[in-house]
Chains A and B, each alone.
Chain A
Amino acid sequence: MNRRRNVLLGGSLLAAIALLGVAQARLDAVVQTVQAPMFEVDPYWPKPIGNGWIYGTVIGVTVDAQDNVYIVHRGVSGDEANGEGDQPLAACCISAPPVLQFDPEGNLVRAWGGPPADSSYVWPGSNHGMGVDAMGNIWIGGNGGGDSHVLKFTQDGQYLETYGETGQGRDSNSMTHFSQVADIEFDFAANEAYFADGYGNKRVAVVDIDTGVIKRYWGAYGNRPMDGPQFEGNRTLGVGWSSDDYQEQQFRGPVHCAEPSNDGLVYVCDRQNNRVQVFQTDGTYVREAYFAPETLGDGATWDLTFSPDAEQTYFYLVDGKNSRIRIVNRQTMEEVSTLGTGGRYAGEFQTIHSIDSDSQGNLYVTETYEGRRLHKFVYMGIGNAPRHQGAAWPRR
């Protein structure tokens, strides 16, 4: 089977058959095409980071106003860290510092982060998610057991602030701390930060950018969030499952993204419920949509980012369980195409986790678990795209 040939011919298959005769009819699959944003993976971005460094699980990504790309990762251990220690076993490998900054060309420009030498701040037990604000400052969450705070640093890693109290447990109605914040995004016009809060808590928390003070919060459907297993539902899904049967009144969590759009809405990833819920910025529920609703385990809705056009016509939804980025029409909430596939090569995923886009509409996607990469997909414009774009390799 020749995926490439199908991809190239997909949109004009009938014409190709007419022109080239019956030989083309032997193509074993007719590729359905749709009008959608198209992408090509850049297999050589970013550039090698040198120093014998290697990433662990890449658990957050964000892009600043100058299209610099930042990731946060967790380092490696065991036989992947054979280059570490006073008497290393081999030349490879050494964990890179947890925060890495790349310029738009993919050059590593900064590397920093990790526990401080003093007690000036508490590095998360398990760093998770990041955002960059209008000042260029970097915000980092965490989903370790006692990670109930968010850290704020300058772009070059100078510590600025801790928001929330450290070392606290789950309390989805706390006004003083968080619980395992998964991601951070911003509404610069309102000077507010949106925390996907998170793995412990089951809420969206809105904080003041300058002070970190919690201004408001809400749960699924805008309900008051509730903690405890009795609010996590009893999901027994199967073939024939319908979202009509199943409107879990709390976020199952992890609440894995909370993304304000430019028209006053907030898009929230309720990951293990396989749904995106949409709210007004005051927490008023607007609508929801389910994606791959029969997905169990880790769930289907991990992170999203908007297309860079003025209308933010599309959002790109990371599905780490099914190894695809879903290209979704924001108005209809319907999937129009997908990007990516399973595997370990360029454009292939072993558990994609986080996504952000730059000013040109290029996508940056990270992998957790055993994928451990940052991918770049180059935006190729709206066009006649395959229904499933797969690994989206560039044409030779």
Chain B
Amino acid sequence: MKRLIVGGLAVSVMGGLAGCSGGGSSDGVPIFEVDALWPMPLEYPNILGPVSGVTVAPDGNLLIVTRQDGFNATNEINSVTGTGQCCTPTQAVLEFTPDGSLVREWGGPDMGYPWPVRPHGIGIDPDGNLWIGGGVAPPARGRGGRGGRGGRGGAAAPAGPPPAPTFDTHILKFSRTGQHLMTIGEVGGTPNSQSQTSFGGAAGFAFDGGANEVYVADGYANHRVVVLDISTGEFKRSWGAYGEAPSDGAMQPYSPSGTPSRQFATVSCVRLIDDLVYVCDRENDRIQIFEKDGTFVSEGTVAPETLGRGSVFDVAASPDEDFLYVADGMNERVHILDLETLTFRTSFGIGGRYPSHFRELGSLVVDADGNIFTSEDGQGRRVQKFVNTGSGPVAMEHQGAVYPAGAR
């Protein structure tokens, strides 16, 4: 994208004419504005941790799962460390009404069930129960650690080989209000994409009420989609990229000019849209689409020049199923694609910590009115609401921040 400096102001201009390849969209696309005043502030001194999943219930309430690790012991949870009055982490799961009021919070470690070391992903099934996955906790990270970048100084690296990462190899199922219903999969196991008894960092869920099946994005360590029985958690089937058998073999790092991998990298989402299964293959910058039995249908790439952690963290469809929204936590934006063709139309959002800016954007969900809710992991630690203001042409390939038109 070209940049102009006009009168000292930084101004972005689109890379091409509207409607041309890579340059905005003259046909109508949904237009979003951030609502910086959603949800309501928590009571002092409570704060959110990294928000690692968001879902919407049929009644419109929003549920998020937060991580309890990664707080800066130097100056963040001072009411826990006894050095000050603020702040105190909330519990792990929070539910908000559509107007942003906190309904309840519950869950977390040491509550009588094996809480994941690094909870990720939350989904609500047709019975109204909640499913929560896990991830991979890197070594030397956890509570009480001195924040690497935050404090002055910082702890010296410990001697000896680094400790191994910790894997969450199970899934938890709760009632809407936090009653533990089921633990699915072996706790504290080893990731294995062939296993029928454990998972490897389950990252997301999709539900097929008619078939009583749940689809699991498996995950941060495994490289597959798994289908389970909703009621029993019984393993039914699984598959890897292109519908082939999943593999845990070594993978070449993703390269935009390389041969597309026959294997999933991080499987960071799974969605059921119009009876098709949409899968996020994060580091490979792609979405793969399958029949429910795992038969490969098609694929599309998103910002395929993206390296590192990749561009496809999560996806969700517009209510009319005309558009697919992609959470991209590497480029820190939401891409809007045509659902049918997976063609890029426009994007919004930009890196940073202000409204409609993102820091480690990880998940998104769409409510019945077509509004988007995003969640930020890492140091972002917010769930943000983007109001769908209707459809129209968009001149910008990348819209950046989407402040309300009436902002002073």
Per the 8 Å Cβ criterion, residues 7-53 of A in contact with B are 42-45, 47-53
Q: Is the CB of B84 within 8 A of A292?
A: yes
Q: Is the CB of A93 within 8 A of B407?
A: no
Q: Is the CB of B83 within 8 A of A3?
A: no
A323-B86, A343-B42, A346-B37 known; A297+B359 contact, CB < 8 A: no
Looking at the assembled complex, report how far the CB atom of A255 sits from the nearest CB atom of chain B, in whole angstroms. 16
Is A55 part of the binding interface, using a Cβ–Cβ cutoff of 8 Å?
Answer: yes
Q: Is the CB of B102 within 8 A of A298?
A: no
Is A90 part of the binding interface, using a Cβ–Cβ cutoff of 8 Å?
Answer: yes
What residues of A have a CB within 8 angstroms of the CB of B46 in the complex?
Answer: 342
Q: Is the CB of A342 within 8 A of B359?
A: no
Looking at the assembled complex, report how far the CB atom of A349 sits from the nearest CB atom of chain B, in whole angstroms. 8
What residues of B have a CB within 8 angstroms of the CB of A43 in the complex?
Answer: 36-37, 354-355
A44-B404, A92-B350, A322-B78 known; A292+B43 contact, CB < 8 A: no
A43-B37, A297-B74 known; A80+B359 contact, CB < 8 A: yes
Q: Is the CB of A341 within 8 A of B37?
A: no
Looking at the assembled complex, report how far the CB atom of B66 sits from the nearest CB atom of chain A, in whole angstroms. 12
Is B175 part of the binding interface, using a Cβ–Cβ cutoff of 8 Å?
Answer: no
Closest to B352 in A: A54
Closest to A49 in B: B10
Looking at the assembled complex, report how far the CB atom of B155 sits from the nearest CB atom of chain A, in whole angstroms. 15
What residues of B have a CB within 8 angstroms of the CB of A300 in the complex?
Answer: 84
Is B190 part of the binding interface, using a Cβ–Cβ cutoff of 8 Å?
Answer: no
Is B300 part of the binding interface, using a Cβ–Cβ cutoff of 8 Å?
Answer: no
Looking at the assembled complex, report how far the CB atom of A98 sits from the nearest CB atom of chain B, in whole angstroms. 16
What residues of A have a CB within 8 angstroms of the CB of B37 in the complex?
Answer: 43, 346, 393-394, 396
**Pair count A-B, CB < 8 A:** 189
Is A265 part of the binding interface, using a Cβ–Cβ cutoff of 8 Å?
Answer: no
Report the stretch among A102-110, A159-167, A241-249 that lies at the interface. A102-110
Per the 8 Å Cβ criterion, residues 334-359 of A in contact with B are 341-348, 350-351
Is A202 part of the binding interface, using a Cβ–Cβ cutoff of 8 Å?
Answer: no
Question: Which of A52, A111, A388 has the most chain B CB atoms closer than 10 A to its own CB?
Answer: A52
Taking residues whose C-beta sits less than 8 angstroms from the other chain, chain A's interface range is 35 or more
Q: Is the CB of A52 within 8 A of B40?
A: no
Per the 8 Å Cβ criterion, residues 47-65 of A in contact with B are 47-55
Per the 8 Å Cβ criterion, residues 45-89 of B in contact with A are 45-48, 72, 74-76, 78, 81-87
Q: Is the CB of A54 within 8 A of B74?
A: no
Report the stretch among B156-164, B207-215, B374-382 that lies at the interface. B374-382
Give the docked Cα–Cα distance between A52 and B3 (Å).
Answer: 10
Give the docked Cα–Cα distance between A322 and B37 (Å).
Answer: 22
Give the docked Cα–Cα distance between A43 and B351 (Å).
Answer: 16
Q: Is the CB of B72 within 8 A of A297?
A: no
Give the docked Cα–Cα distance between A109 and B7 (Å).
Answer: 8
Q: A295-B85, A343-B48, A390-B44 are in contact. List 12 more A-B contacts (CB 8 A).
A: A3-B40, A79-B309, A108-B8, A110-B8, A296-B83, A321-B85, A343-B47, A345-B382, A351-B150, A370-B379, A393-B37, A396-B37
Interface of A with B (CB < 8 Å)? 1-4, 42-45, 47-55, 77-80, 82-83, 89-93, 107-111, 292, 295-298, 300, 320-324, 341-348, 350-351, 369-373, 388, 390-391, 393-394, 396
> Would you give 9 A-B contacts (Cβ < 8 Å), ordered by A?
A51-B10, A52-B351, A83-B351, A109-B8, A343-B381, A350-B47, A369-B72, A369-B151, A370-B150
**When A and B form their complex, which 10 residue pairs have the shortest distance between CB atoms, in order from nearest?**
A50-B10, A342-B87, A43-B36, A44-B407, A92-B351, A93-B351, A89-B308, A296-B83, A48-B401, A369-B150
